[in-house]
Copies of this chain bind each other. A is one copy, B any other.
Amino acid sequence: MNEILMNMGAEKRDRIINSALMEFSKNGFKKASTNKIVVEAGISKGLLFHYFINKKGLYDHLEKFSIETVMKNITDKLNWDESDFFERVKQIVLIKIQVTAQYPYIYDFMIKTYENMTADDIFEYRENLSPGLLQKVYTHNIDYSKFKDSMDIKKVTQIIQWSLEGYGKDFYDKLQKTKEPINYEELIEDFEKLICILKEAFYK
């Protein structure tokens, strides 16, 4: 991270980052408003351009920051000895919850960014940061012999992936609309039920 940024208080830095991640993820680069970013972050216009030379500088910083943050969390927190696919999945989800608690729009920002990239660009960019990491997440040490032999493993893991995304999205949408605080116990219990069904559906 930029040295000058490191000297900023962490709380203020995250306020700016989160405000910018939200604005860019909702509107893309061109339509995002630096005015709205500074208001939401509670800083002055001048300060933003003092830290990040211009709009593009801010965006570039966020692009690097977001993928680095996610990858660092995965590298540090994942238990690479775990061999059960669904336990691995649960860990990834837990990491996502933790990262999202600090940076609510970081995944949305990354998805929005990838809209304008080819699959090769995305792959290459991630590979440069930490070779093989994302490939390893769902392969390293995982015991795929637990799955029903008759099914195409690739399609099955895709279905599971889609289910997790759908579950997350629905939960998030409901959260946005009700605006009630999260009941984590209830959430985890409900999520376990989903995993249970998926296990029964796809494991031998």
Contact = CB atoms under 8 A, between A and B. Distances in A.
Contacts of A118: 177
A158 B193 CA distance: 13
B163 A159 contact: yes
Nearest to A166: B162
A200 B163 contact: no
A82 interface: no
Contacts of A143: none
B156 A197 contact: yes
Interface stretch (A4-12, A64-72, A146-154): A146-154
Interface residues of A, number: 27
A122 to B, nearest CB: 11
A147 B197 CA distance: 12
Say how many copies of this protein the assembly contains. 2
A167 interface: yes
Contacts of A194: 155, 159
A119 interface: yes
Contacts of A158: 166-167, 170
A167 to B, nearest CB: 7
Contact of A31 (B27, B197, B200): B27
B200 A152 contact: no
A166 B161 contact: yes
Given A27-B31, A119-B177, A166-B166, A200 B159 contact: no
B119 A152 contact: no
Given A31-B31, A119-B177, A201-B202, A193 B152 contact: yes
Nearest to A165: B166
Interface of A: 27, 31, 118-119, 148, 150-152, 155-156, 158-159, 161-163, 165-167, 170, 177, 193-194, 197-198, 200-202
Top 8 A-B residue pairs of the complex, sorted by shortest distance between their CB atoms: A162-B166, A201-B201, A159-B163, A162-B163, A162-B162, A151-B197, A155-B197, A201-B202
